[in-house]
């Protein structure tokens, strides 16, 4: 790692080194705070549910109603637990020319959504790289054939949706009241046992009389407790405790079950809205001489097919990603053949430069 860093420092000027940082960060080559060539901003990190990596989910950067970039967790085999979003940042200002529709204004807030739910906001600046890990808490299916089962995304919930579980006491004097440590107990300010093991908590929210703190996807459908989490009808004061298959799409309660908009603090209640499917791009036709033949290298980033990924080849890939060179200058860097070099492809190339083509 140190050797590669030294070679990078010697071989490249800072603007080029900065541009490749977006890929190098994800494999630990550079620190978690760095810069890339303007005008892009990169946000990356891990998404977890109760400390366990979340896979298969779609992470989206959105400004207003405009999707700026999206990434499917697990799409990069080398770093399956990470997401990486590259956000175009315009040179416009709040008081200056209008920002292009597919870019963000410097210093503006961008929403980070997971499977259509807003979980975080980040401030973007030109040339900035920032890590943003997101913890979503325990999640359960609401509705469908897997109702009540643990999930990591809607794909686990046929006919329903994956929502963040709410913690409430089951039985005892605190029956139906909120607690904090699902399946465990708060001890000295940290959850002991259960899905929230090690997370911060308040002992004042422990369930009395030895009652369990359980997670639930159900809410009261009507009455004075409408929208409140519940485990059974008795906790709803005459109403029905049910899985609604609806979710707070945004606001402070994003990701939680709901019945109506009023149940979502600062947000709206409804079905999941996933980001639009990207439009298909034309697949380029390669010349026969540009296609690797059996026996040649198929190592990502090995532009000249000599079995290794060099610093010069990393530079070439960065320039292709920035639009300064044609993708045909490094066919083997374009792993999915879409005519572009993406962040995940840069990550793969850096990993091969570090660990070798057989690593």
Structure tokens at 238: 């005459």
Spell out the SS3 assignment of the chain.
CHHHHHHHHHHCCHHHHHHHHHHHHHCCCCCCCEECCCCEEEEEEEEEECCEECCCCEEEEEECCEEEEEEECCCCCCCCCEEEEEEEECCCCCCCCCCCCCCECCCCEEEEEECCEEEEEEECCCCEEEECCEECCCEEEECCCCCCCECCCHHHCCCCEEEECEEEEECCCCCCCECCCCCCEEECCEEECCCCCCCECCHHHCCHHHCEEEEECCEECCCCCCCCECCCHHHHCCCCEECCCCEECCCCCCCCECCCHHHCCCCCEECCCCCCCCCCCCCCCCCHHHCCCCCCCCCCCCCCCCCCCCHHHHHHHHHHHCCCCCHHHHHHHCCCCCCCCCHHHHHHHHHHHHHCCCC
Q: What is the pLDDT of residues 39-77, one digit of tens each?
A: 678 888 888 776 667 777 788 898 888 889 888 888 877
Single out the residue in 79, 104, 135 at which a domain terminates: 135
pLDDT score recorded for residue 39: 63
Q: Choose among 48, 27, 23, 57: nearest CA to 37.
A: 23
User: Are residues 115 and 78 both part of a single domain?
Assistant: yes
Single out the residue in 82, 103, 135 at which a domain terminates: 135
Between 13 and 76, the higher pLDDT residue: 76
Q: 294: Cβ–Cβ under 8 A, 6 or more apart, which residues?
A: none
Q: What is the mean pLDDT of the chain?
A: 76
67, with CB counted inside 10 A (0-12, 13-18, 19+), is: middle
Q: Does the pLDDT of residue 86 top 50, yes or no?
A: yes
User: Are residues 67 and 129 both part of a single domain?
Assistant: yes
If you search the block for the tokens 């639930």, which residue do you land on?
216
CA 187 and chain centroid, separation: 31
pLDDT score recorded for residue 252: 79
User: Are residues 62 and 100 both part of a single domain?
Assistant: yes
Rounded mean pLDDT, 186-206: 85
Between 313 and 119, the higher pLDDT residue: 313
Q: What is the pLDDT of residues 294-324, one digit of tens each?
A: 334 468 888 888 888 887 788 788 878 877 7
Q: What is the pLDDT of residues 253-301, one digit of tens each?
A: 888 899 999 999 888 898 865 443 333 333 333 333 344 433 344 688 8
In a domain, 283, yes or no: no
Cα dist from 309 to 18, 152, 154, 197, 315, whole Å: 19, 35, 38, 42, 11
Q: 130: Cβ–Cβ under 8 A, 6 or more apart, which residues?
A: 32, 33, 41, 42, 43, 44, 122
User: Are residues 250 and 311 both part of a single domain?
Assistant: no
pLDDT score recorded for residue 79: 74
In a domain, 9, yes or no: no
pLDDT score recorded for residue 351: 78
Q: How confident is the model at residue 139 (pLDDT cuts 50, 70, 90)?
A: confident
Rounded CA gap, 321 and 333, in Å? 10
User: How many distinct structural domains can be found in the chain?
Assistant: 3
pLDDT score recorded for residue 58: 83
Between 285 and 32, the higher pLDDT residue: 32
Q: How confident is the model at residue 17 (pLDDT cuts 50, 70, 90)?
A: very low
14, with CB counted inside 10 A (0-12, 13-18, 19+), is: exposed
User: Are residues 82 and 201 both part of a single domain?
Assistant: no
Single out the residue in 270, 296, 328 at which a domain terminates: 270
In a domain, 144, yes or no: yes
Q: What is the pLDDT of residues 198-216, one digit of tens each?
A: 778 899 999 999 899 999 9
Q: Which residue segment(s) compose the domain that 325 sits in?
A: 288-355
Q: Does the pLDDT of residue 2 top 50, yes or no?
A: no
Q: Does the pLDDT of residue 9 top 80, yes or no?
A: no
Q: Does the pLDDT of residue 26 top 70, yes or no?
A: no
Rounded CA gap, 236 and 176, in Å? 9
In a domain, 178, yes or no: yes
User: Which CATH number covers residue 130?
Assistant: 2.60.40.10
pLDDT score recorded for residue 213: 92
pLDDT score recorded for residue 282: 32
């Amino acid at each position: 790692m140190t050797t590669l860093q030294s070679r990078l420092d010697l071989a490249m000027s800072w603007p080029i080194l900065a541009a490749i940082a977006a890929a190098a960060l994800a494999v630990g080559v550079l620190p978690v705070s760095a810069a890339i060539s303007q005008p892009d901003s990169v946000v990356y990190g891990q998404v977890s549910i109760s400390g366990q990596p979340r896979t298969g989910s779609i992470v989206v950067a959105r400004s207003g109603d405009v999707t700026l970039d999206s990434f499917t967790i697990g799409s990069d085999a080398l770093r399956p637990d990470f997401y990486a979003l590259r956000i175009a940042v315009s040179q416009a200002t709040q008081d200056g020319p209008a920002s292009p529709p597919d870019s963000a204004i410097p210093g503006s807030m961008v929403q980070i959504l997971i499977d259509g739910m807003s979980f975080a906001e980040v401030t973007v600046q030109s040339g900035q790289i920032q890590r943003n890990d997101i913890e979503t808490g325990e999640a359960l299916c609401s509705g469908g054939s897997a109702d009540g089962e643990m999930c990591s995304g809607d794909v686990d919930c046929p006919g329903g949706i994956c929502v963040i579980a709410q913690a409430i006491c089951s039985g005892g004097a605190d029956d139906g009241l909120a607690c904090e440590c699902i399946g465990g107990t708060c001890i000295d300010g940290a959850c002991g046992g259960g899905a929230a093991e090690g997370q911060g908590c308040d002992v004042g929210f422990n369930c009395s009389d030895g009652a369990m703190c359980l997670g639930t996807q159900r809410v009261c459908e009507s009455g004075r407790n409408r929208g409140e989490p519940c485990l059974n009808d008795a906790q709803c004061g005459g109403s029905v405790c049910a899985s609604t298959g609806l979710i707070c799409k945004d606001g402070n309660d994003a990701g939680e079950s709901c019945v109506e908009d009023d149940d979502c603090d600062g947000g709206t209640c409804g079905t999941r809205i996933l980001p639009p499917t990207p439009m298909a791009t034309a697949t380029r036709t390669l010349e026969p001489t540009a296609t690797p033949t059996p026996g040649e290298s198929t190592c990502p980033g090995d532009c000249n097919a000599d079995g290794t990924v060099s610093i010069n080849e990393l530079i070439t890939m960065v320039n292709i990603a920035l639009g300064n060179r044609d993708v045909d200058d490094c066919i083997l860097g374009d792993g999915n053949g879409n005519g572009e070099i993406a962040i995940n492809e840069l990550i793969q190339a850096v990993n091969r430069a570090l660990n070798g083509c057989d690593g």
